[in-house]
Amino acid sequence: MLSTLFFFTIVLSAGYAKVKSPKIVGGEETTIETYPYIVQVEAFNTWTGWNQNCAANILNSNWILSAAHCFEGWNYSPATTRIRAGTTTRNTGGVVHYVDYEINHPEYRVFSRYDADINVVKLLTPIVETSSVKRGTLVAHGFAIPDNYPVIHAGWGHTTFGGRPSNVLLHTQMYTINNQLCATRYQQLNGVVTPNMICAGLLDIGGRDACQGDSGGPLYATGQNGHIIVGVVSWGHRCANETFPGLSTNVASYTNWVLENAR
């Protein structure tokens, strides 16, 4: 019997942990012990070998949570995909686990390109928990995170749009943005923002965001018992744009589906 996934209703904390900023874009270095639930997703390329291209979150000993768009396409195969857990450094260290199969949400791409951009991924070997490898905590199904609430991105992605990934784990703090306001902004680009997405950034300021290579990784809120996974990095216009903030899949729309499938 697989381990049961821990989850509970997010408890908003007045004393949230602040992250200093002026890579992810606009962040600073951190360690895997701070975010032991995040893992790297690596893909094999004949010319370059194994290389981190997305991220994910540990659910339990056999399953991770990521973005569906990281596990699709002509060049995707479970046989050439693996995760690396328990290391601060990109592409090295920690423990490697290979992918068995993925379950992309059945509504992915149905309503819009990135609606339901979420999946669960079964691993071939079980994850063993340590101080740098731990299961994450999901937000409760249906919970509505408030506007202007502090949230955190963490990852190894590009530090500027079109730039280069970070060699070490980075994190940055930003704030949730009203969904309808975000949807109105993206209409200018013919982008579709749905209620199943969380918009976050520094509105009309920019400078902090997830970027290429951070897809599938976490958007965390801080509650009384630590970091809670409220979002999965999904899409956006460039990175850290002041007019068009980044978007993550709203995990609260899918928590029940995740729990039903990742067991």
**pLDDT grade, residue 26 (50/70/90)?**
confident
Average pLDDT value for residue range 230-236: 98
Residue 9's pLDDT is what? 38
pLDDT band at 3 (very low <50, low <70, confident <90, very high): very low
Return mean pLDDT, the chain: 91
Residue-wise pLDDT tens digits, 53-62: 999 999 999 9
CATH 2.40.10.10 fits 28-33+136-251, yes or no: yes
Check whether 21 has a pLDDT greater than 50.
no
Average pLDDT over residues 78-107: 98
Q: Residue 224's pLDDT is what?
A: 76
In the prediction, which pLDDT does 63 show? 98
pTM over 0.85: yes
Average pLDDT over residues 227-244: 97
pLDDT tens per residue, range 141-155: 999 999 999 999 999
Q: What is the mean pLDDT of residues 34-54?
A: 96
Cα→Cα distances 123→60, 108, 213, Å: 10, 21, 21
pLDDT at 56: 98
Q: How many CB atoms lie within 10 A of CB 168?
A: 14
pLDDT at 16: 36
pLDDT of 8 strictly over 70: no
Domain extents for the chain? 28-33+136-251, 38-135+256-261
Q: Do domains 28-33+136-251 and 38-135+256-261 have the same CATH topology?
A: yes
Higher per-residue confidence, 19 vs 174: 174
What average pLDDT does the segment 49-74 reach?
97
Share of the chain above pLDDT 70, in %: 91
- Domain 38-135+256-261 belongs in CATH node 2.40.50.140: no
Under the banding of pLDDT at 50, 70 and 90, the label for residue 201 is very high
> Among residues 207, 205, 227, 190, which one has the least CA distance to residue 114?
190
The residues carrying an active-site annotation are 69, 117, 215
Q: Give the pLDDT confidence score for residue 7 in this predicted structure.
A: 37
pLDDT at 225 over 90: no
